[in-house]
Amino acid sequence: MAKKSFKAETRKLLDLMINSIYTNKEIFLRELISNASDAIDKLKFQSLTKPELLENNGDFEIRISIDKDNKVLTVSDNGIGMTYDEVVENIGTIAKSGSKEFIEKLQGTDSKNAAELIGQFGVGFYSTFMVAEKVKILTRAAGAEPSEGVVWESKGDGSYTIDKTDKIERGTEILLYLKEDILKEMHLLDKDEIEELVTRYSDFIRYPVKMDVGKDAPEEKVLNSMKPIWHREKSDVTDEEYKEFYRHTFHAYDEPVDVIHSKGEGNVEYTALIFIPSQVPFNFYSSHFERGIKLYSKQVFIMDKCKELIPEYLGFIRGIVDSPDFSLNISREILQHSSQLKVIAKNIEKKILGALKYMLENDRPKYIKFWNEFGKAIKAGIYADYGMNREKLQDLLLFESSYSEELTTLDEYVKRMPENQKEIYYAAGRDRNALKHTPQMEMLAEKGYEVLYFVDKIDEFASTILVNYKEKPLKNISGSELNIFTEEEKKEKEEKRKERESQSKSLLETLKKHLQEDVQEVRLSSRLRNSAVCLVSGEGISINMEQVLSEASMSNMPAPKATRILEINPDHRIFAKLNEIYSADPDSGKLKDFAEVLYNQALMIEGIAPKDPVKFASQISEIMSEVPV
């Protein structure tokens, strides 16, 4: 017999389990039954190619037995079982990413929050230590000799023992030696209580969960209905059951924000049970993430992640589809081209988008929760596939806005537009606060035009695909041509600008010459009120996009550049000053310093560092020291 220690993180987890004040301690039973069911699934699957693993017994079952005298509760299964090494590997360490993430969250959490975390994560096998002072595992892998059984024992105190043993029956038995004090609050040796727990938590398990319920003589009863939840009528399934199914089937720890349970319409027969999660799956943004819907045919499992059933941008969706139209051994290649599958996929997508739209309109707080987790994916959906999905997705978008602190839809924005407003305005940058105070906002604020704040990097990219919404063009307020003035105002402004520009033409030329490496043009602005300067972009990508792209691109691949235009406010005192210097001496060296300082100012307002901070600082000091007292 070998005595071994648990890995450090497992010890931490056990410690927590044992001392936890978590109130739903009964979940241990769900976890054990779920493991048993998984073990049978595995065997069933492997036996397709290796029938000898069944050892001539294909009657799968999970069994619960109660030993009142010794206060032992046992859950056993005739599933795949474990070899010696597998017990060490699977039970002694936390390889499972869910638990790992749990542990990470646990660091720096007090015990009250810890209890909440257990609820959120449901940490599998280890939950047995909440109710048992000692846990014993007897197991034998399918196909192994009866002498190759394994016995494992632990009190959850940091170590366990493991040894070889004889075991006739294939599969796994878990014996829980229940704690005295637990038995005072929970009736875990009471058959009715156990039956109640099984129907509450594990009713949909596909294998019979059996228990001897005889009072005098043995009398076996199957406790669970086993009817796949998706084949039951919607009205007969409780929220709790959907939730349990979701957790068990997808090894998820969150609660779905919405469940779509629907039957096929039209020519293709199918049932779909789709879950919209409330939390991003932990590996969603990693390259290992695989999207997909579980595919069944007449309740028999075909494929775990059928990606043809769900578009990429909805990759976070979980669910199952059961359709008698597919044969069990259908190959991936045939599936890919199946027109039935395409019809189902289309319907599912429509249903999901419909459910989201409904949520957006009828339960905004819930939608916002969804949006905060998955909004990026929806925006990526707009951008993906050459904008094929833009019509479908544009009404699901939410943006920050100058109108209020609340997020807004494009539709709400358009409804608020004053009659004379022709375009949808947005400002793109790091955050709401920075954008609120940009010089470009001044004229729009004065006009009373609302501005969307694009604070997510992907926003502006999505908008380039959208182009318009309800025939209103989306315009970056830092772009070159804004359509904010009435014809009359425009004329008047244009005349005034032309007049001023012709007066200052040579000054502007000189400034441009001093900044020739950086800007395409220096011109007078009609969008500024109080600020001296701002930077706008000409044709092509915006300055914000340039920044995003250069952050994202590899250093050996130059990112595209925005064309920059420096706009000067002709009503600002600095403009008069520039004119003064210029008329005294068109070749004054001061003009170069001023031009550079103004350009750097404009950069900084955009959230970009000055070109040469040291030079910039010394120029400012120089200018300051010349101010008369």
Return all residues near 109 (Cβ < 8 A) that are at least 6 apart.
Answer: 117
**297 belongs to the binding site for ligand ADP (CB under 6 A):** no
Complex with ligand ADP: residue 318 or 564, whichever CB lies closer: 318
Site for ligand ADP in 201-260 (CB under 6 A): 251
Q: Find tokens 């792209």 and name the residue.
A: 549
The CA distance from 517 to 141, in Å, is 73
Task: Report, in Å, the least distance between residue 557 CB and ligand ADP.
Answer: 42
Number of residues that bind ligand ADP (CB under 6 A): 17
Interaction partner, residue 424 (ligand ADP, Mg ion, none; CB < 5-8 Å by kind): none
State the residue number with the nearest CB to Mg ion: 124
Give the closest residue to 92 by CA, choosing from 4, 180, 214, 224: 4
The CA distance from 338 to 77, in Å, is 38
One symbol per residue from 366 to 395: x for binding Mg ion (CB under 5 A), - otherwise; what is it?
Answer: ------------------------------
Interaction partner, residue 36 (Mg ion, ligand ADP, none; CB < 5-8 Å by kind): ligand ADP
Complex with ligand ADP: residue 171 or 429, whichever CB lies closer: 171
Structure tokens at 538: 């000409």
Q: Strand runs (DSSP E) across 429-479, as ranges?
A: 451-454, 468-469, 472-476
Complex with ligand ADP: residue 104 or 499, whichever CB lies closer: 104
**100 belongs to the binding site for ligand ADP (CB under 6 A):** no
Spacing of C-alpha 587 from chain mean position? 58
Complex with Mg ion: residue 244 or 308, whichever CB lies closer: 244
Task: Report, in Å, the least distance between residue 31 CB and ligand ADP.
Answer: 5
> Which of 10, 35, 128, 394 touches ligand ADP (CB under 6 A)?
35
Give the closest residue to 596 by CA, choosing from 579, 575, 617: 617
Site for ligand ADP in 156-175 (CB under 6 A): 172
Name the one range near ligand ADP by CB under 6 A: 31-39, 425-433, 461-469, 608-616: 31-39
The CA distance from 625 to 512, in Å, is 26
The CA distance from 434 to 432, in Å, is 6
**31 belongs to the binding site for ligand ADP (CB under 6 A):** yes
Interaction partner, residue 96 (Mg ion, ligand ADP, none; CB < 5-8 Å by kind): ligand ADP
The 10 Å CB-count burial string (b at 16+, else e) for 456-494 is bbbbbbbbebbeebeebebbbbbbeebebbeeeeeeeee
Interaction partner, residue 357 (Mg ion, ligand ADP, none; CB < 5-8 Å by kind): none
Site for ligand ADP in 413-472 (CB under 6 A): none
> Which of 79, 124, 264, 311 touches Mg ion (CB under 5 A)?
124
**35 belongs to the binding site for Mg ion (CB under 5 A):** yes
Name the one range near Mg ion by CB under 5 A: 31-39, 215-223, 310-318, 376-384: 31-39
**124 belongs to the binding site for ligand ADP (CB under 6 A):** yes
Task: Report, in Å, the least distance between residue 286 CB and ligand ADP.
Answer: 19
Return all residues near 435 (Cβ < 8 A) that are at least 6 apart.
Answer: 427, 428, 429, 441, 451, 453, 455
Task: Report, in Å, the least distance between residue 204 CB and ligand ADP.
Answer: 17
**202 belongs to the binding site for Mg ion (CB under 5 A):** no
Task: Report, in Å, the least distance between residue 419 CB and ligand ADP.
Answer: 59
Number of residues that bind Mg ion (CB under 5 A): 2
> HSE of 382 in the Cβ direction (CA atoms, 13 Å)?
24
Name the one range near Mg ion by CB under 5 A: 34-42, 130-138, 353-361, 424-432: 34-42
Structure tokens at 122: 């449901």
Name the one range near Mg ion by CB under 5 A: 6-14, 123-131, 259-267, 620-628: 123-131
Structure tokens at 324: 């008698």
Interaction partner, residue 466 (Mg ion, ligand ADP, none; CB < 5-8 Å by kind): none
**Torsion angles phi and psi, residue 297, rounded to 5:** -125, 120
Interaction partner, residue 408 (ligand ADP, Mg ion, none; CB < 5-8 Å by kind): none
Task: Report, in Å, the least distance between residue 45 CB and ligand ADP.
Answer: 13
**Which residues is 100 bridged to in the sheet?**
none
> HSE of 531 in the Cβ direction (CA atoms, 13 Å)?
23
Name the one range near ligand ADP by CB under 6 A: 33-41, 268-276, 334-342, 352-360: 33-41
Task: Report, in Å, the least distance between residue 37 CB and ligand ADP.
Answer: 9
Length of the chain: 629
Is residue 309 within 8 Å of residue 295, measured between CB atoms?
A: yes
The CA distance from 152 to 141, in Å, is 14
> Which of 36, 321, 508, 541 touches ligand ADP (CB under 6 A)?
36
Helix, strand or coil, per DSSP, at residue 449:
coil
> HSE of 413 in the Cβ direction (CA atoms, 13 Å)?
30
Complex with ligand ADP: residue 88 or 559, whichever CB lies closer: 88
Task: Report, in Å, the least distance between residue 224 CB and Mg ion.
Answer: 17
> HSE of 269 in the Cβ direction (CA atoms, 13 Å)?
7
One symbol per residue from 52 to 91: x for binding ligand ADP (CB under 6 A), - otherwise; what is it?
Answer: -------------------------x-xxxx-------xx
**Torsion angles phi and psi, residue 593, rounded to 5:** -60, -45
The CA distance from 464 to 461, in Å, is 5
**Mode of pairing for the β-strands spanning 424-428 and 472-476:** parallel
Give the closest residue to 316 by CA, choosing from 233, 366, 381, 264: 381
**96 belongs to the binding site for ligand ADP (CB under 6 A):** yes
Residue 29 one-letter amino acid: L
State the residue number with the nearest CB to ligand ADP: 124
Return all residues near 79 (Cβ < 8 A) that are at least 6 apart.
Answer: 36, 37, 38, 39, 40, 41, 42, 43, 60, 142, 171, 172
Residues at the contact surface with ligand ADP, assessed by CB under 6 A:
31, 35-36, 38-39, 77, 79-82, 90-91, 96, 124-125, 172, 251
Residues at the contact surface with Mg ion, assessed by CB under 5 A:
35, 124
